Amino acid sequence: MTANAPSQDVIIYHNPACGTSRNALAFLREAGIEPIVIEYLKTPPDRDTLATLVRDSGLTARALLREKSQAYEELQLADSPHTDEQLIELMTQHPILINRPIVVTPWGTRLCRPSESVKELLALKPGRTAT
């Protein structure tokens, strides 16, 4: 059996230390998709890319924040009045603040928490059904 070539259409912003992220990646691979894997802590998205991820996911920047991080506490983001633009800037400076995994496909962009939600995203692909 040969490995699938990476799909230029699917990207996962991934943290290999995160079980949810590993599971989402496994679901993609089980569906026959070999995504482009971006380990966002090593290669963080720039401000424009992050703003696009926020917009395309339909979430606010605050909804994309990873609350279980030391940086979140240190920056006192729990009750902060930061705008989306300010939060995006903070996430570019501190990529650990970006929640994961984020999966980008031609049929949608989604924060896949829980990891099973990647199946809902895959079901949007023409000709596919959720498994």
pLDDT at 126: 76
Q: Which of 100, 113, 115 is closest to 27 using CA atoms?
A: 115
At 58, the amino acid letter reads G
Total domain count, the chain: 1
DSSP state of 98: B
pLDDT at 80: 83
Domain at 31, CATH number: 3.40.30.10
Residue 50 lies in a domain: no
Give the pLDDT means over successive 10-residue stretches in the chain (131 positions): 59 96 96 95 97 96 94 91 95 96 95 93 73 48
CB 35 within 8 A of CB 6: yes
Residue 30 lies in a domain: yes
Report if pTM > 0.75: yes
Residue 86 lies in a domain: no
Instruction: Please calculate the CA angle 19-22-28 and round it to the nearest 5 degrees.
Output: 140
pLDDT at 127: 67
| Residue 112: domain span | 10-40+100-131
Residue 122 lies in a domain: yes
Q: Which residues belong to the active site?
A: 18
What does 26-76 look like in DSSP terms, one character per residue? HHHHHTT--PEEEETTTS---HHHHHHHHHHHT--TGGGB-SSSHHHHHTT
